[in-house]
Amino acid sequence: MQQVFERGGTLEISVARVGTSSSSSIPAHPLVDPHEVAGSSDLVWRLKIVSLEEESVLVEAPVALGETFRIDDGIALVGAITIGQNRWKFRSRKVSDERLAGTRGVCMRLELPDTVERCLRRFVRFEAADLQLPSVSIWPLLDPKTIVAAEIANEEAFRCFVDSKPPSNITAPMPSVGPKFTATLMNVGGGGVGLRVEPQDSAVFGRHRIFWIEIPLGRDHPVPIAVTGKVVHTHLDSSQRTYIGVSFDFTFRLAHQQIVVEQIQRSMQQVQNQPRHTTAPNPKDL
């Protein structure tokens, strides 16, 4: 973690799932490919390290589309440290919110983990017992102007869900798109998301840069995030999987940005409201 901090790097953090172990030790196996647990909805946030102390680390709070998403004090977290092709996972706990001079907005203080465990290189950086990452549906967007009706339908479906009203029986329209493929949602941050695409689907990025994306938020949130995304960077890992950085685009309907923010906010609050274990107390505090 010291190396990451010195390089101005980031941690990847998510709220721990209900029923995960409260022990600070993390089982070494099994690690599973995220496609085996498609359909779940854990959101992973990439957060910059602000400062590192003997027993805690200060990171930027989760932010997307200009909005800060609060994690409650005491919430158990799972996370990862990435240096090149090497990854380590750990458990932690949110301690407090703080504001420091020279930083943008609120920062979060997290317990410094007692131990970290190296991940198997060919697998995702979080074990399945901790997190299950969403499988995202993606279509090449052939005509960006056709997204307006689809966004409006998505907004109406979300409002019906929030107001506990029955959804419309009318099938939501799709924009003008090409063939569908899937990706794994690796992290959320800033103005978009990080996705991982399997080798058989990666050729599409040589022909298209703008996509229609649907991000599921789990059983408790039946209306997915539906949004236009622009690919802003790509790179290959050692297994020839393509990692892509996607920036959300609201050029044709700025009002849809607020709906996406509300969907993320509701999902974040829901996962924190579920009964859960916190991390084990630090022996130094006993």
User: What stretch(es) of the chain map to CATH 2.40.10?
Assistant: 135-272
Q: Specify whether the CB–CB gap between 135 and 39 falls below 8 A.
A: yes
| pLDDT at 255 (0 to 100) | 94
| pLDDT at 247 (0 to 100) | 96
Residue-by-residue pLDDT tens, the chain, 286 positions = 777 777 777 888 988 865 544 333 333 222 223 333 333 467 889 898 988 888 899 999 999 888 889 999 999 898 888 776 677 888 899 999 998 776 677 899 999 887 777 665 444 444 434 567 889 999 999 999 999 999 999 999 999 999 988 877 777 799 999 999 999 998 898 889 999 999 999 999 999 999 999 999 887 888 999 999 999 999 988 788 999 999 999 999 999 999 999 999 998 888 888 654 444 444 444 3
What is 161-189 written as a DSSP string?
HHTTPPPPSSPPP--EE---EEEEEEEEE
Rg of the chain, C-alpha, whole Å = 19
The position carrying tokens 């685009």 is 249
pTM of the model: 0.79
Give the dihedral of Cα atoms 20, 24, 29, 35; nearest 10 deg.
Answer: 50
Nearest by Cα to 187 from 1, 14, 4: 14
Euclidean distance between CA atoms 147 and 126, whole angstroms: 34
What tokens were used for 183?
């990706």
User: What stretch(es) of the chain map to CATH 2.30.110?
Assistant: 2-131
Q: Coil, strand or helix: which one is 267? A: helix
| pLDDT at 254 (0 to 100) | 94
Specify the CATH number of the domain 135-272: 2.40.10
| pLDDT at 103 (0 to 100) | 67
| pLDDT at 214 (0 to 100) | 96
| pLDDT at 275 (0 to 100) | 59
Handedness of CA 48, 51, 56, 62 (dihedral sign): negative
Euclidean distance between CA atoms 57 and 95, whole angstroms: 10
Q: What does the angle CA 91 – CA 95 – CA 100 come to, to the nearest 5 degrees?
A: 120
Phi then psi for residue 106, to 5 deg, are -85, 145
Q: Specify whether the CB–CB gap between 131 and 38 falls below 8 A.
A: no
Nearest by Cα to 146 from 229, 253, 225: 253
Strands (E), 20-149: 45-52, 56-60, 63-64, 67-68, 76-83, 86-98, 107-111, 117-118, 135-143
Q: Which CATH architecture has domain 2-131?
A: Roll (2.30)
Euclidean distance between CA atoms 28 and 60, whole angstroms: 29
